[in-house]
Amino acid sequence: MDEEYRTIEFPFDPVDGMSDTGPVEFVAEKPMNLNTFLTYLMSWSAYQTAKERGVELLTDVVVKDFESAWGGDGNVVKGVKFPVFLRIGKVRAEG
């Protein structure tokens, strides 16, 4: 994600209307309460890997910090924004 897929091999041609294969960036937004947001964080592979190695990333202190940042009411629904990066291409014509 740090390099937004710029460094991966992507052996495709640009689709019609584009000059390159990207990455194309946009922001997705999903309404979530705090519990849903924390559940989302726990679905990340980095969280799961840490958990498997005996490390809890969402300690009570971290969760309390999230609660405070959320405004103190975890039931409040907020719009959580996610950057999305896409590489878009079509199969090269053989020739």
Confidence of residue 2 (pLDDT cuts 50, 70, 90): low
Strands 24-32, 78-86: pairing is: antiparallel
Phi/psi at 69 (5° precision): -65, -30
Q: Tens of pLDDT along 44-90?
A: 999 999 999 999 999 999 999 999 999 989 999 999 998 898 888 99
The crossing angle, in degrees rounded to 10, of helices 45-52 and 34-42 is 70
Q: Mean of the per-residue pLDDT values for the chain? A: 91
Amino acid identity for residue 95 in this structure? G
Domain boundaries, the chain: 24-86
pLDDT at res. 22:
86
pLDDT at 11 over 60: yes
- Higher local confidence (pLDDT), 94 or 68: 68
